[in-house]
Structure 1
Amino acid sequence: MNASAPAILTCALTGVLTDPARHPVPVTPAELAREARDAYNAGATVMHLHLRQQEPGRGHLPSWNPALAEEAVAAIRAACPGVIVNLSTGVVGPDISGPVACLRRTRPELAACNAGTLNYLKLKDDGRWAWPPMVFDNPVEKVRAFLDVMHDCGTRPEFECFDVGIVRSVELYRRAGMLPAAGAPTSCNFVMGVASGMPCDAGLLALLPRWLPPGSLWQATLIGRADIWPVHRQAAELGGMLRTGLEDTFYLPDGQRAGGNGPLVEALARCAQQAGRSVASPAQARALLGLPG
């Protein structure tokens, strides 16, 4: 990575299960478009999108309704000229028909491809599990199936890596012939801060890029509170691309709660600028990612 290259800013608009009754996460297509526009105006050119059920009282639950996906993606694109849509595909179990239907309906420029399996755990302060221990299962057959669909849709995969062994697996996928054909960089996302995955640690972040396929483009997803912001600055200094949003944190660098995605992306843009980097325009982001203009 060129440490002086423009920084692509990604906004993770809403996340998977966050309760909109307690936190300011968007749920409806109109809300997603409004939040995307605020993030876009602050410098984000990629919108990472999860879908939520639209029925009253169910906005904290995920949806794989392809008609909803189409409506939400269209609203975001209308609000943000040139924006790059990155659709989530994360699902537990072997049935990937929901994410596949959404990919085929919307054909996003990018989609998350979870690159390995993780025991997904979190403890409360009293030692009880925050949720029943679960396995976020992403065996090779499942990864390959997603990659095949993404190839059919003209969608570039962004490999989500929750642990060091998963980071290293991406190079094994390349050597096994699973990655897209040469001509665009491999995109990887270091997910740091999940309690049972990689910690949000600047020293660890500095080591991770060496295990990626040659010429890879990487970013860091940092989950936590105000303590994540020094690591964002480290990512910017190392030449990584940057991501934040209400999926990842509710807290600004000064510890105050963010009222929406716009202020979080504004803070992320300052991290890039403090590292001597400009914020990528939509055209620059497409060129760096190897996407059509």
Structure 2
Amino acid sequence: MPDPVIVTAAITGAIHTPTMSDALPVTPEQIVDAAVGAAEAGAAIVHLHARNPENGAPDQSAEAFEPILGAIKTRSDVVINITTGGAPTMTVAERVRPAQHWQPELASLNMGSMNFGLFGMLGRFPDLKHQWEKDYLGNRDIIFRNTFQDISFVLDTLRDSGTRFEFECYDTAHLYNLAYFRDAGKVEGPLLIQTVFGLLGGIGAHPDDVAHMKRTADRLFGDDYVWSVLGAGRHQMSLAAISAAQGGNVRVGLEDSLWLEKGVMAPSSAAQVARAKEIIEGVGRRLATPDEARARLALKGGDQTAF
């Protein structure tokens, strides 16, 4: 039988803005409740960003994570993954700061630079409450910078913390970038590779795109990686089904999609985890527990973090 499915729930992110959905958690209390709810629904990992509680803007200060991390840990044994992606408008030094300070079991790491186009959302959400939302979403000049130097900086900064990585790969070249760092001895398996589909500026969300990324990863990494799939927006559940059916793992959550199904906005990340669970069990698999995820990904354990 295939390994149990590691479900990651990405709780709030830095793409969607507060006006888009009342379900999007903004305050520390909302983020904690959303993360614990997703864990109770079956997520083994929660992927965390923080936000300004007043206006919902991304906040990548270490202090912004303080009221979130300990509160989740008190209520759940879920694996906590802190972003080093932050928002594409931030410097890499800003983005790595929370993971550097709190030394989580997992941190995300984007494996290549890319154009980042969020402006298509403006037409769907014309009545935004905050000026920052309009400026952020309307920016057609965003390059999400993840140079070889930037990636090396994150790896070197977190090297002695024991933190391992969720390697986010938005296109085929990002897999080759990861192979370069593996061959250079900067990272070692088992590699958690989160292949990302459907964001403007990255690879598309057609099943052929998924197959191409999977074939490339198989050829580059053999059995030394753990494959997971993130489908953005309306592609979330259909790509979750493809991954689950092919022995892979799944990422869902309001960071990646505001939708539960066509025409129905998700009331929570927990609801998306529950829907993913139905899909996973429908193809004859089960969800991994946090401890099963820890063992499979060679994580250091929740007692080895700085929170």
Cα drift, residue 21 of structure 1? 3.8
The structure where helix makes up a greater share of residues is: 2
Which consecutive unaligned segments of at least 5 residues does structure 2 have? Answer: 124-136, 302-307
Q: Is the contact between residue 106 and residue 299 of structure 2 (CA under 8 Å) also seen in structure 1?
A: no
Per-residue Cα deviation, 1:95-114 (whole angstroms, up to 9, x for no partner) = 43333331122111111111
1:92 deviation in Å?
Answer: 4.3
Runs of 4+ in 1 over 6 A off after TM superposition: none
Q: Which residue does the alignment assign to 2:200?
A: 195
1:253 matched to 2:252? The reply is no
**Contact 1:206/1:238 (8 A) holds in 2:** no
Alignment of 1:122-271 (within 5 A): 122=118, 124=120, 130-180=138-188, 184-212=189-217, 213-214=221-222, 215-225=224-234, 227-253=235-261, 255-271=263-279
Q: Match for residue 287 of structure 2? A: 279
Shift of 1:284: 0.8
| Within-5 A mapping of 1:13-28 | 13-23=11-21, 24-28=23-27
Q: What secondary structure sits across from 1:165 in the alignment?
A: helix
For residues 41 and 92 of structure 1, what CA distance do their matches in structure 2 show? Answer: 30
The answer as to whether partners of 2:103 and 2:162 remain within 8 angstroms in 1 is: yes
* Distance change in 2, residues 1:157/1:238 (3 Å): same
The answer (yes or no) to whether the contact 1:33–1:79 under 8 Å persists in 2 is no
User: Which of 111, 115, 128 is matched with 2:111 structurally?
Assistant: 115
CA distance in 2, matches of 1:292, 1:120: 33
Cα displacement (A) at 1:85: 0.9
Amino acid at match of 1:257: M
* Alpha-carbon shift at residue 72 of structure 1 (Å): 1.0
The one of 79, 86, 104 equivalent to 2:100 is 104
Q: Structure 1: how far apart are the matches of 2:73 and 2:244?
A: 27
2: CA distance, partners of 1:283 / 1:157: 17
**Corresponding residue SS for 1:246:** coil
CA separation in 2, counterparts of 1:238 and 1:151?
33
CA distance in 2, matches of 1:291, 1:209: 23
Aligned residues of 2:198 and 2:232 also touching (Cα < 8 A) = yes
**Which AA in structure 2 matches 1:111?**
A
Change (3 A) 1:93 1:267: closer
Shift of 1:252: 1.5
Where does the alignment leave 5 or more consecutive residues of structure 1 unmatched? Answer: none
Q: Deviations over 1:115-170 (max 9, x none)?
A: 001011255498xx943221111110110110112222211011111111112221
What secondary structure is seen at the aligned counterpart in 1 of 2:115? strand
Shift of 1:292: 3.4
* Amino acid of the structure 2 residue aligned with 1:38: G
Q: 1:4 aligns with which of 2, 5, 25?
A: 2
C-alpha displacement of 1:234: 0.6
1:268 shift after superposition: 0.8
Q: TM-score, normalised by structure 1?
A: 0.89
Q: In 2, Cα distance between the equivalents of 1:101 and 1:123?
A: 28
Partner Cα separation in structure 1 for residue 181 and residue 280 of structure 2: 31
Question: What SS does the corresponding residue of 2:265 show, helix, strand or coil?
Answer: coil
* Range moving further from structure 2, 37-46 or 195-204: 195-204
Query: Which amino acid is the alignment partner of residue 7 of structure 2?
Result: L
TM-score by length of 2: 0.85
Cα distance, 1:94 vs. partner? 8.3
Residues 206-265 of structure 1: CA deviation (Å, up to 9, x unaligned): 23223232321121111022x442221111011111110001111123541111111110
How many residue pairs get matched? 281
Percent identity between matched residues is 30
CA shift at 1:279, angstroms?
0.4
CA distance in 2, matches of 1:96, 1:163: 20
Cα distance in 2 for residues equivalent to 1:167 and 1:48 = 21
Q: What SS does structure 2 have at the residue aligned with 1:252? A: strand
Moved more, 163-172 or 85-94: 85-94
CA distance in 1, matches of 2:90, 2:71: 30
Question: Structure 1: how far apart are the matches of 2:66 and 2:300?
Answer: 20
